[in-house]
């Protein structure tokens, strides 16, 4: 009962944190999209005003808005200045807490796959946290290096870094955990951009103005660079957040390459919108992105394994009882599970039959189940399941 209650409370913690994380993320990404679009759609101020580099008129919610961008800063500091940082900070705080509840506390099922790397839970968590820090340090050094002066070269280096992270995490963690780890590393970079570069730069500008000095324009430049990087990372990072539902992606033998492809596709789509908001519609960008999605879907389509001769339902039942039912039962015996995961129970012949298609999908085609192959499902047993579904999944 103690364990079941703990698992139940953790489910609630997970639900509330996930809810908060999604909402904070929506607010943050919303502001990111809004300000990059605003920046891209500025027109020269009419009439020209000292210090104003551009302005934008818009209509929304029953009124007109007139925004002006000052570069570097207005002559006088306004009395009330709105800052944008807590949406970023809360996204990270809730995201990290969710990572702890959903992955670190279930490291054996969610983070570790002993056939990939034989890590203890403590080592896996320590590696995961170390990588969150290392990812930021490596990225920040890249931006500060001479490469940081060249947008194109920096984009290539950034993609190389993401590729290294995706490949490296695939050598350390279970497939699904590896995806979330890369997502958490990228999310950490995005928040650190806000906390360590954008906001401190803005503080320096404000402090200089209060001291009656001319603010240094380099802070604006640095902040803008990081803010644009964040903008390009939004679509891929949201993909990682929802990828858990799609084992066809992270369950693929070259899951890391799939992830890199999704990063490229997401950034291309973002680029299309950014150029479009600046008045240029590059229609070939979404066409290429769509072609890449089709190519990816074809490249990773599951290959049906060579099925065993034929298998009886009794054999199937035995495999499922041994490899699946510890989690997928009305009252799971697997520690950390209060309810059958995904609502899927595989404890009676009827229920096994009812879920035949999903069983095939999850444990034969994508190998997503059992998570981290915790219960040691063998290839021969997967073939038994495959042969059974090939026969139309009869209950005998």
Q: Which residues contact ligand HEC by CB under 6 A? A: 109, 244-245, 323-324, 326-328, 334, 341-342, 344, 355, 358-359, 362-363, 369-371, 374-375, 377
Cis link prior to 47 (omega < 30° from 0)?
yes
d(CA 219, CA 201): 5
**Closest distance to ligand HEC from the beta carbon of 51 (Å):** 53
Cis link prior to 370 (omega < 30° from 0)?
yes
**Closest distance to ligand HEC from the beta carbon of 344 (Å):** 4
| C-beta separation of 183 from 235 below 8 A | no
**Ramachandran class of 376: left when φ > 0, alpha when ψ lies in -120 to 50, beta otherwise:** left
d(CA 384, CA 179): 29
**Closest distance to ligand HEC from the beta carbon of 323 (Å):** 4
Burial of 88 (0-12, 13-18, 19+ CB in 10 A): buried
**Closest distance to ligand HEC from the beta carbon of 346 (Å):** 6
- Closest CA relative to residue 173, chosen from 218, 116, 251, 126: 116
Nearest-10 Cα torsion for 386, 390, 393, 394: -120
**Closest distance to ligand HEC from the beta carbon of 334 (Å):** 5
**41 or 326: CB nearest ligand HEC:** 326
**252 or 328: CB nearest ligand HEC:** 328
d(CA 188, CA 191): 5
**101 or 369: CB nearest ligand HEC:** 369
- In this chain, which residue has its C-beta nearest to ligand HEC? 324
d(CA 183, CA 363): 25
**166 or 352: CB nearest ligand HEC:** 352
Angle at 62 between CA 57 and CA 65, to 5 degrees: 20
**76 or 245: CB nearest ligand HEC:** 245
**254 or 358: CB nearest ligand HEC:** 358
Return the residue matching tokens 């290096």. 145
- If one counts every other C-beta atom within 10 angstroms of the C-beta of residue 12, the result is 10
**197 or 377: CB nearest ligand HEC:** 377
**198 or 369: CB nearest ligand HEC:** 369
d(CA 195, CA 201): 10
| C-beta separation of 165 from 135 below 8 A | yes
| C-beta separation of 386 from 364 below 8 A | yes
**Closest distance to ligand HEC from the beta carbon of 218 (Å):** 46
**Closest distance to ligand HEC from the beta carbon of 369 (Å):** 3
**225 or 334: CB nearest ligand HEC:** 334
**Closest distance to ligand HEC from the beta carbon of 11 (Å):** 11
- Closest CA relative to residue 18, chosen from 117, 113, 98: 98
**Closest distance to ligand HEC from the beta carbon of 24 (Å):** 21
d(CA 49, CA 70): 9
d(CA 124, CA 333): 24
**Closest distance to ligand HEC from the beta carbon of 303 (Å):** 19
**243 or 274: CB nearest ligand HEC:** 243
């Amino acid at each position: 009962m103690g364990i079941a209650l703990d698992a139940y409370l953790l489910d609630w913690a997970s639900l509330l944190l996930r809810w908060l994380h999604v909402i904070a993320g929506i607010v943050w990404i919303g502001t990111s999209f809004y300000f990059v679009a605003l920046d891209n759609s500025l027109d020269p101020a009419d009439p020209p005003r000292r210090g104003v580099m551009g302005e934008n008129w818009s209509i929304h919610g029953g009124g007109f808005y007139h925004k002006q961008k000052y570069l570097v800063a207005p002559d006088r500091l306004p009395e009330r200045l709105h800052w944008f940082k807590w949406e970023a900070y809360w996204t990270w705080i809730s995201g990290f807490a969710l990572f702890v509840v959903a992955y670190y506390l279930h490291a054996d099922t969610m983070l570790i796959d002993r056939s990939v790397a034989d890590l203890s839970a403590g080592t896996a968590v320590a590696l995961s946290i170390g990588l969150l820090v290392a990812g930021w340090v490596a990225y920040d050094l890249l931006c500060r290096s001479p490469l940081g002066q060249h947008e194109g070269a920096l984009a290539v280096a950034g993609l190389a870094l993401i590729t290294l992270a995706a490949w490296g995490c695939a050598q350390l963690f279970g497939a699904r955990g590896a995806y979330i780890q890369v997502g958490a590393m990228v999310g950490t970079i995005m928040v650190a951009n806000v906390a360590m570069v954008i906001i401190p730069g803005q503080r320096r500008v404000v402090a200089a103005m209060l001291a009656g000095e001319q603010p240094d324009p380099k802070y604006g430049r640095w902040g803008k660079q990081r803010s644009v990087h964040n903008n390009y990372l939004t679509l891929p990072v949201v993909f990682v957040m929802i990828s858990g539902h799609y084992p066809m992606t992270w369950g693929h033998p070259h899951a890391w390459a799939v992830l890199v492809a999704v990063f490229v596709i997401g950034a291309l789509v973002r680029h299309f919108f950014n150029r479009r908001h600046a008045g240029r519609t590059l229609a070939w960008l979404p066409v290429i992105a769509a072609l890449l999605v089709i190519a990816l879907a074809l490249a990773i389509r599951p290959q049906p394994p060579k099925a065993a001769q034929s298998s009886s339902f009794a054999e199937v039942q035995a495999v499922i009882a041994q490899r699946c039912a510890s989690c997928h039962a009305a009252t799971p015996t697997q520690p950390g599970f209060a309810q059958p995961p995904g609502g899927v129970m595989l404890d009676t012949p009827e229920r096994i039959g009812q879920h035949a298609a999903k069983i095939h999908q999850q444990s034969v085609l994508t190998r997503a189940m059992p998570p981290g192959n915790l219960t040691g499902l063998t290839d021969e047993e997967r073939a038994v399941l495959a042969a059974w579904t090939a026969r139309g999944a009869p209950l005998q």
